Structure formats: C-alpha cells, structure tokens
C-alpha cells in the first residue's frame, strides 16, 4: 500500500539554510516520481525524501495539544490551523487556553453554552473560555483561595473580548443576582469608550491595562457581591495626536455622533473634521461601528452606575478638550498670543474657568521665587505644548476619576476572595515606538517572567529536588531584559528618572547615558550611526525606540500656575480633579492596605495617569514620582497579587494582520507561539516524594479520583443513612409503645368518664324532677300574682281613660263657650264697626256743617272787622276783649248744657284731624283751641279754613 496516497497528511522539510517542517497534504502521488503536495497555500512537487508521514492525531487535530504524538512548533501550528478552519478557536495546552481571534461572530456564547459548562471539570468538555471561567469559580469554592486569569497576546488578538466573556459567564452563573452585577457588566462599555481606540492593528485596542477583581461571597451562597478595577498607564499622548489611520479615544466620536441637539448647542459641538485633535490622522470612522448607538449604550451604562449629574460634567470636559485643541497661537511681541479668543471663551465656559486668565496661563509662565513673582512669555512652541499638556491632564485625571467612581460604586467592603481578570496591553512594535511602548513591553516582560516562573522554572527546580532525570527545557528566561529596564540603580527607568530630575537635561543626554551604561549588555541595542534611537531585545523580539519625548512623558507635570487656575474652576468636577492632591482623588485603600497586594490606586501610583501635585501650594515645593517609577512599583505589586492567587492563563493569538476570518498567517502565528512559551512541554515521571505528569493526565487522574471518591462517599452516605434510619426506627418503635400506653390510659379514662357521665345524668334527672315540682308551684303562684296585678292595672287604666274622657269633654265645652263668645264679640265688633262707620258719616256731615258755619263765621268776622272800622285802637281792644268774654261765657254755658260731651268732642277732634289728614302744626293748633274753649262751630270753621288754605 502506498503510504503517500492522495489526501494523506505529511511533514514536508523544504530545502534551505534553516530547515523547518511544514504540514502538507498529498494531492498527487507518482510511485516512481516525486509527489505533488499542498503546503503553506502552494502546490509543490517535492522529492519523496523530504516527506514523512504525520501521526493521525496530529493530522485530525486535538483539543489538548499535550496529547499530540509529535510536539514541535509545526505540529502546534498545524493543530491550531486545522481547528481554526472548523471555527474551533479554542485549544488547550494543559491548563493553558489558546484562543485564536476568529474576526467574526460565532454562536458559541449563548445561555445554553453557559449552562453546559457550569460546574463541569476542566477537560471534560471541548476547550472554551467558559471552561476556564468555570474552573476559577470551582477552584475558589474548593480552596477558598483567590483565583486569577492572565490574558495576554498581541494587540488585536482578542484580549478585551475574552475579558468580557469571562465577566459575563461569572455573572450569569452566580447563584444570586443583584444590581452590582449589572453595574460590573455595564462598566465595560464605559471603560472601552474612554480607554480604547482604533490602531493600525486593532479597531478596539485597549490603550490602558486593567485588573478586575470580582468579589465572591462563597461562604454565603457563592454570589458575586462586588468588584474592584485597577488601571495602568493610560496612553494620554493619543488625546493630542494619533498615527495615520488611527483614531482618538472612542468616546469623542461617540459624543459627536450621538449627542442630542440640546447637547450639541450647550457643548458647541460641530462635525468631527472641525476638531484638530480628531482630524490629524485622517481616520474618523470605523467600518461596522455605529458611534451614535454606542453613545446611547454609554449613557445607559452611566445611568446604571449612578453617575447622575456627573455625566453632564464629563461631557463638558470632553468637549472642552476638543475645543482646547482648536486654540491656535500667533507671534505677539516677545512671545505667543491667542489667535482667537472665541475658542478660549468656549473652553472657559465648559470648564468653569475665567477665559482671560486661561488665555494668560496658556501664553505666559508665572513663577514664584523667594516671594517674588516672575511672568515669562512663552514661545509659540511652548504655548502649544502648554495647551497639549492641559488637554492630556484633563483626560488623564478624568479617566482616573471614572475608574475610581466605578470601583467605589461596585466594591464590597468585606474582605473576600476574588476572581481576578488581567486584561493588559499586548506586546507592541510599531514603526515609531516611544516611552509608552517601552512601558507596555516592560509589563509584558514581567508577565512573561511570571508565566515562566509558574510553568517552567519552579517546576524544574522541583525536578532537581525530587531527583528526576530530565532534560532542561530551553525556555526564554527574560530576567536579563527585566534587569536592563528596571534594576536599580542603572536600569533604563532609573537612568531616565535621574535625567528627569535635572532641569537642563535633554533626550539626547539621556540617550548618551543609556549608551554609556548598557552598550555591552546583550539585551541592549546601540545604533551604529548617531541616531536618536536605542533598541531592546525583548523575549518577543527586538524593538527600536525613538528617544524623543521620553523625558517629558516621564515627568508628566503641569506648571504650578496652571494648576492653581484649574483649582479655582466653578465646575465641581474640574476643581475636584485639580484642587486636591492626586492621591486624594483616588479610591480608598483596602483594609489590607492593598488590593490583594496591589495599591488601591486607579492609575500609576499616586495619581497614575494624572499630573503631579501643584508645586505652588503655600509656597512649598514637592516632587511626585515619575511615571516610570510609578509604573514599575505598580507592576511589582501586580505580580505580587498574581503570585498570591491560583493563576490560569489565556494566550490570545492574532491569526493575521488583515483582520480576515478563516485566514492564518503561519509566520505571524509561529512568532506568537514562540515567545508565549507554548512550544515547551514536560512529560511525567516519578520522583522521591512526588509524581510529575502532563496536565491532561493530571486532569484525567483528577477526574478518576473524583469518580472513585464520589463512589466511596456514596457508600459512606448510604451507611450513614442506614444508621440514621435504624436509629430513627428504634426511636419510632419506642415512641409507638409509648403511644400505645398513652392510648390505653386514654381509653380507660374515656370509659371512666362515660360511667361518670351516666351517674351524673341520673343525678341530674332526679334533681330536675324535684326542681320541676318546685317550679310548677312557683309558676302557679307567680301566675296568680301576675293575674291580680294585671286586674289592678286594667282598673287603673279604665279610671285613667274615664278621667281623660271627662277632661276632654270639659275642654270641648270650654272651647265651644270660647267659640260662642268669640262669635258674639265678632258680632259686637261688627256692630261697633258699623256704628263707627255711621258715626264717621255723621261726623263727616257735621264737619261739613261746621265748615259751612266756619265760612259764615268768617264772613261775620269780616263784617265785624268792618264794624270796627273808624274805632281807635283802644276801642278795638275793648271790643275784642268783650267778644272774647262773650265767647268764653257761651262756651261755659254750652259745656254745662252738654255735660259729659267734652271727652266725646275731643275724640271727635282727633277723628276729624285723622280724617282730614291735617299737617302736624295745624293739628296741634286745633287741639289747643279745643282745650281753651269748646267751640265746635269755630273749630269746624277753622278746619274748613285750613282745608281751603294753601297749608
């Protein structure tokens, strides 16, 4: 049988100076000639001598690469490539998970998959990130020790997505659910928006590192009760400039695309191209990314995390940074001046600063020396640097404040074990590498060293201690490179700090010191020509760094006069960021003094990512640690935290640089496998006191041990249940006997009570008979008394009725008498009325006669007057007195003659006055005359005169 039949997988060794194995598949075999194979995407005719058969396990692909029959880099790559084509992006290497970025959405993270992996031992199901997440949770419950997942890989390998998947799994499998779990998940969109950006390698590259501790109260049900977030080395330089085809932080584009009309007006927002900080790179959008929809999600997350009124302040600071980038300068005498104050006024309005003072500090430097104030104009370049430094300070401090706010909102005050997830920047090597890349690559060196220590070095030391015959594994021990960068006092960071403390030092003097100190170090690369560069041979390869800007970025300071102005802001957020020392605006320290060994600071040391404390407070000066020193310290504490946990590793692999699904670049993947330590393996052997084995065998044995242990436990449980049941049976049997006794006693007592009831019943009947006889007697007596009382009552009622009838008759008679009297009185009154009517008629007639007589009397008087003519006054007086006497005498005689008619006359006068309705004064005159003398005739005459007169 031909071993090289078509379709057979083989290893192909191409000719060359550096022979290497390539996986190949036979396409056509010529028994007497050279076969045609497909290798590395090409169809080649190769000599049969360069081919050898591939083991079937290697050809088909396995879930755990430790089980491969052939272990070399080509075998690992082929295994990953075969699985990647089947969209099986996860592969185990022992307990290390290799995750290849699929660059497409896969349906393998739904709720059903979460339930599938929940509680399952590692290795029982196909490789998956949920398997690692589940194992951390199970291990924490079993050991009570904190767990951590170290996620590493190049930029664009999928570290951020892996972090989110682990957090999502932990939240979904938590036995309890609360608001804090939603807040933990909603923190991711906020941190991504403010901390991630598009780079040439990754559309969603994390430009900071973060360590998330998910606190688990396993003793009270295993629910998630809180979380802490620690951030490292935010790339603040991205705020002011980006490389070609890169973007600023996502949040700026989200804000412009998703802001409402009112927000656009309040924040003075224009299109993206109108802001210098966003348009320098020429890239403003990302395919398949909706910035407006992302902004809506961010606002919802801010609401869930209860940012409240701070949300408006955050947007104001973001808009102020954008407008600050549009502040332009021009030559003005000895220094620089503001080209247009309109933009400065907008920045001042948004940040709560006086625009004139802001323009002044941007173009002039104010220093205080020995009590004297000096103002120095800034050059055009210095003014631009001052503007950019302010923009970076705004963003850096705001980002640290956001991380602190999230941690304060979600953290639990209890001292609990946690599942930590480290998502930190991957190894970077760009065309232009600066201070940030050195720090990032140094962090990866430290993490690689931690990986080597955990996987290889410590275990080989155990081999020696156990007396095992073993072959030394040639892994990359990067301790020399770490010492080059961080060892005191001559490490690169130490030399950089030393130069940063000299005011007159420059990037060139710093580079010269690097060359003089380390030119003979095997990990240091000195350029052959006089260039402003130096190189470091990292575990992942050689990287060339441009020294320009190292000192300024390491110092990361803001002028004291600018700090003093910012502290006076009327915007509470801005004043809080710049008034208090940076350490005061960071999260409070854990009761242990650290987060599992890591300081409770949300950035680099005191004020990581934030400028140093103002040096002009009360005339005193102070020096804050440099960025490099802070980062080195924080990194050491992070490694200490990881060492105190039980670690799990996820190695994210970037399959190609074009971000295409289904395409795997062999050279790129092999390079990542080499420096990640995936190529080294260890076989198991027996030692003096320990057995060393491959992790997959350890998992198998652990599963067998668990099964056997479970069987024994079941037997023990069965025996314990038998003893418990037997004890309960005996107890129950004794209880039954006791119950029987109680029942017998109860029945006897029941019979006795029955007999007693019968006796009592007879006694009751006898007493009832006697009582009945007495009752009948008393009843008859009562009836007789009642009848007598009733008869008396009836008689009394009859008497009362008769008396009432008599009184009623008398009342009726009296009423009849009164009625008759009233009728008689009415008749009499009627007669009197008729008589009065007749009298009035008579009096009226009499009055008319009197009136006639009065008229005659008047004529008579007139005649008498005529008679008095020719008499003297004395004679007229005597004549009048005589007439008066005669009248009085006549009246007296008339009065006597009439007798009692005076009263009647007076009544007649009243009736006349009333009848004629005389005026009051005339009526009084008539009564007076009638009183003096009774002269009816004259009165009638007077009345007649009065009636005919005007009055």
- Percentage of residues in the chain with pLDDT exceeding 70? 82
Whether 155 is a known active-site residue: answer yes
Query: Which residue among 94, 156, 348, 597 is the active-site one?
Result: 156
d(CA 400, CA 76): 41
111-115, 201-205, 402-406, 585-589: the lowest-pLDDT one:
585-589
| Mean pLDDT confidence for 564-588 | 72
Residue 98 forms beta bridges with which residues? Answer: 91, 651
pLDDT tens sequence across 659-677: 899 999 998 998 888 777 6
Query: Which residue among 91, 160, 248, 284 is the active-site one?
Result: 160
Q: What is the CA radius of gyration of the chain?
A: 61
pLDDT at 434 over 60: yes
Work out the widest C-alpha separation in the chain, in whole angstroms: 204
Residue 686 forms beta bridges with which residues? Answer: 691
The DSSP code for 620 is B
Give Cα 100 distance to the centre of its chain: 36
Is 154 one of the annotated binding-site residues?
A: yes
pLDDT at 475 over 80: no
**Between 616 and 6, whose confidence is greater?**
6
What's the confidence (pLDDT) of residue 925?
63
Query: Which residue among 50, 155, 171, 486 is the active-site one?
Result: 155
**Between 289 and 558, whose confidence is greater?**
289
**Between 940 and 145, whose confidence is greater?**
145
pLDDT at 568 over 50: yes
pLDDT tens sequence across 346-377: 999 999 999 999 999 999 998 888 878 889 99
pLDDT at 84 over 90: yes
What's the confidence (pLDDT) of residue 699?
56
Q: Which two tokens stand for residue 858?
A: 């008047």
**Residue keyed to tokens 């403010």:** 194
pLDDT band at 874 (very low <50, low <70, confident <90, very high): confident
Q: Which two tokens stand for residue 545?
A: 């760094």
Is 159 one of the annotated binding-site residues?
A: yes
Instruction: Please name the helix (run of DSSP H) or strand (run of DSSP E) that holds residue 542, with its range, or none.
Output: strand 541-546
What's the confidence (pLDDT) of residue 924?
65
pLDDT band at 603 (very low <50, low <70, confident <90, very high): very low
| Mean pLDDT confidence for 698-719 | 79
| Mean pLDDT confidence for 295-308 | 95
pLDDT at 923 over 70: no
Give Cα 408 distance to the centre of its chain: 12
Query: Which residue among 91, 202, 433, 571 is the active-site one?
Result: 202
d(CA 284, CA 275): 11
Contact criterion met (CB below 8 Å) for 853 and 899: no
| Mean pLDDT confidence for 92-102 | 90
CA 915-919-922 angle, 5° bins: 100
What's the confidence (pLDDT) of residue 57?
79
pTM score of the predicted model = 0.68
Whether 222 is a known active-site residue: answer no
Whether 205 is a known active-site residue: answer yes
What's the confidence (pLDDT) of residue 933?
47
Query: Which residue among 58, 206, 409, 626 is the active-site one?
Result: 206
**Burial track 887-907 (b if 16+ CB lie within 10 A, e otherwise):** eeeebeeeeeeeeeeeeebee
48-57, 308-317, 681-690: the lowest-pLDDT one:
681-690
d(CA 499, CA 505): 6
d(CA 674, CA 530): 33
d(CA 552, CA 750): 104
Q: Which two tokens stand for residue 652?
A: 């994210």
Q: Please, what is the average pLDDT of the chain? A: 83
Whether 428 is a known active-site residue: answer yes
- Closest by CA position to 700, among listed 63, 75, 55: 63
The per-residue DSSP string of 810-856 comes to: HHHHHHHHHHHHHHHHHHHHHHHHHHHHHHHHHHHHHHHHHHHHHHH
CA 794-796-799 angle, 5° bins: 110
d(CA 774, CA 535): 132
Query: Which residue among 161, 213, 231, 428 is the active-site one?
Result: 428
Whether 156 is a known active-site residue: answer yes
Query: Which residue among 426, 597, 605, 628 is the active-site one?
Result: 426
50-59, 735-744, 908-917: the lowest-pLDDT one:
908-917
What's the confidence (pLDDT) of residue 609?
36
pLDDT band at 592 (very low <50, low <70, confident <90, very high): very low
**Burial track 338-367 (b if 16+ CB lie within 10 A, e otherwise):** beeeebbbbbbbbbbbebeebbebbbbbbe
Whether 426 is a known active-site residue: answer yes
**Between 930 and 395, whose confidence is greater?**
395
Is 156 one of the annotated binding-site residues?
A: yes
Is 155 one of the annotated binding-site residues?
A: yes
**Between 864 and 91, whose confidence is greater?**
91
Q: Report in angstroms the alpha-carbon separations of 23 from 20, 43, 74.
A: 10, 12, 7
Contact criterion met (CB below 8 Å) for 938 and 928: no
What's the confidence (pLDDT) of residue 930?
55
């Amino acid at each position: 049988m031909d071993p090289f039949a078509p379709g057979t997988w083989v290893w192909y060794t191409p000719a060359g100076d550096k022979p290497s194995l390539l996986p190949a598949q036979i396409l056509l075999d010529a028994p007497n000639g050279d076969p045609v194979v497909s290798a590395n995407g090409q169809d080649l005719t190769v000599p049969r001598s360069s081919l050898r058969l591939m083991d079937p396990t290697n050809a088909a692909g396995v879930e755990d690469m430790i089980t491969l029959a052939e272990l070399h880099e080509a075998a690992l790559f082929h295994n990953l490539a075969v699985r990647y084509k089947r969209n099986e992006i996860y592969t185990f290497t022992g307990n290390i998970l290799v995750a290849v970025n699929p660059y497409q959405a896969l349906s393998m993270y739904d709720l059903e998959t979460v339930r599938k992996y929940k509680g399952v031992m590692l290795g029982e199901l196909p490789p998956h990130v949920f398997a690692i997440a589940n194992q951390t949770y199970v291990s924490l419950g079993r050991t009570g020790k904190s767990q951590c997942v170290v996620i590493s890989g190049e930029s664009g390998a999928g570290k951020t997505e892996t972090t989110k998947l682990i957090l999502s799994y932990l939240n979904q499998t938590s036995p309890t659910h609360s608001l804090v779990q939603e807040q933990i998940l909603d923190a991711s969109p906020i941190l991504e928006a403010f901390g991630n950006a598009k780079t040439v390698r990754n559309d969603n590259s994390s430009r900071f590192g973060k360590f998330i501790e998910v606190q688990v109260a396993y003793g009270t049900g295993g629910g998630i009760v809180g979380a802490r977030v620690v951030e490292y080395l935010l790339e603040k330089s991205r705020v002011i400039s980006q490389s070609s085809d890169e973007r600023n932080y996502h949040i700026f584009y989200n804000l412009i695309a998703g802001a409402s009309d009112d927000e656009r007006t309040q924040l003075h927002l224009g299109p993206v191209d109108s802001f210098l900080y966003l348009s320098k790179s020429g890239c403003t959008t990302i395919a398949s990314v909706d910035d407006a929809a992302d902004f809506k999600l961010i606002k919802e997350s801010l609401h869930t995390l209860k940012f409240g009124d701070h949300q408006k302040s955050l947007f104001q600071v973001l808009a102020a940074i954008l407008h600050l980038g549009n502040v332009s300068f021009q030559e003005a005498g000895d220094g620089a001046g503001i080209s247009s104050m309109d933009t400065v006024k907008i920045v001042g309005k948004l940040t709560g600063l006086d625009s004139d003072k802001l323009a002044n500090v941007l173009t002039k430097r104010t220093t205080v020396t020995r009590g004297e104030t000096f103002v120095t104009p800034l050059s055009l370049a210095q003014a631009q640097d001052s503007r950019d430094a302010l923009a970076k300070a705004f963003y850096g401090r705001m980002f640290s404040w956001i991380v602190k706010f999230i941690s304060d909102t979600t953290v639990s005050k209890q001292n609990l074990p946690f599942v930590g997830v480290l998502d930190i920047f991957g190894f970077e090597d760009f065309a232009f590498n600066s201070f940030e890349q050195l720090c990032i690559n140094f962090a990866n060196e430290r993490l690689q060293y931690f990986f080597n220590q955990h996987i290889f070095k410590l275990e080989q030391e155990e081999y020696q201690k156990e007396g095992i015959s073993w072959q030394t594994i040639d892994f990359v021990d990067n301790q020399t490179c770490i010492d080059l960068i961080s060892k005191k006092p001559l490490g690169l960071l130490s030399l950089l700090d030393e130069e940063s403390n000299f005011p007159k030092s420059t990037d060139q003097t710093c580079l010269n010191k690097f060359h003089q100190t380390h030119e003979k170090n095997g990990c240091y690369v000195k350029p052959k020509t006089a260039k402003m560069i130096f190189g470091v041979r990292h575990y992942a390869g050689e990287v060339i760094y441009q020294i320009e800007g190292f000192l300024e970025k390491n110092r990361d300071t803001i002028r004291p006069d600018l700090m003093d102005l910012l502290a006076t802001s009327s915007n509470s957020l801005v004043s809080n960021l710049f008034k208090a020392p940076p350490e005061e605006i960071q999260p409070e320290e854990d009761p242990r003094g650290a987060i599992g060994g890591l300081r409770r600071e949300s950035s680099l040391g005191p004020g990581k990512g934030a400028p140093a404390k103002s040096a002009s407070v009360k005339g005193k000066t102070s020096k804050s640690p440099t960025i490099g020193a802070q980062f080195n310290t924080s990194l050491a504490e992070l490694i200490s935290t990881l060492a105190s946990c039980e670690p799990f590793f996820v190695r994210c692999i970037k399959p190609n640089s074009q971000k295409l699904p289904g395409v795997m670049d062999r050279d790129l993947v092999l390079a990542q496998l080499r420096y990640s330590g995936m190529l080294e393996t260890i076989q198991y052997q027996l030692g003096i006191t320990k057995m060393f084995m491959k992790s997959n065998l350890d998992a198998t044995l652990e599963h067998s041990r668990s099964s056997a242990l479970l069987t024994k436990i079941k037997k023990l449980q069965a025996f314990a249940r038998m003893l418990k049941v037997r004890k309960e049976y005996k107890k129950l049997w004794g209880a039954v006997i006791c119950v029987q006794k109680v029942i017998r006693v109860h029945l006897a007592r029941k019979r006795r009570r029955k007999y007693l009831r019968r006796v009592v019943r007879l006694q009751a009947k006898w007493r009832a008979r006697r009582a009945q006889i007495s009752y009948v007697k008393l009843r008859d007596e009562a009836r007789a008394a009642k009848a007598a009382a009733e008869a008396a009552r009836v008689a009394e009622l009859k008497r009362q009725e008769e008396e009432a009838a008599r009184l009623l008759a008398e009342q009726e008679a009296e009423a009849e008498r009164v009625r008759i009297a009233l009728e008689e009185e009415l008749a009499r009154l009627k007669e009197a009325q008729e008589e009065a009517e007749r009298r009035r008629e008579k009096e009226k007639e009499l009055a008319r006669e009197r009136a006639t007589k009065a008229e005659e009397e008047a004529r008579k008087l007139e005649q008498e007057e005529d008679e008095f003519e020719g008499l003297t006054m004395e004679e007229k007086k005597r004549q009048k007195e005589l007439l008066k006497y005669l009248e009085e005498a006549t009246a007296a005689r008339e009065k006597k003659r009439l007798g009692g008619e005076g009263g009647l006359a007076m009544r007649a006068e009243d009736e006349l006055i009333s009848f004629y309705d005389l005026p009051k004064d005339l009526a009084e005159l008539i009564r007076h005359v009638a009183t003096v003398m009774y002269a009816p005739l004259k009165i009638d005459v007077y009345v007649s005169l009065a009636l005919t007169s005007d009055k």
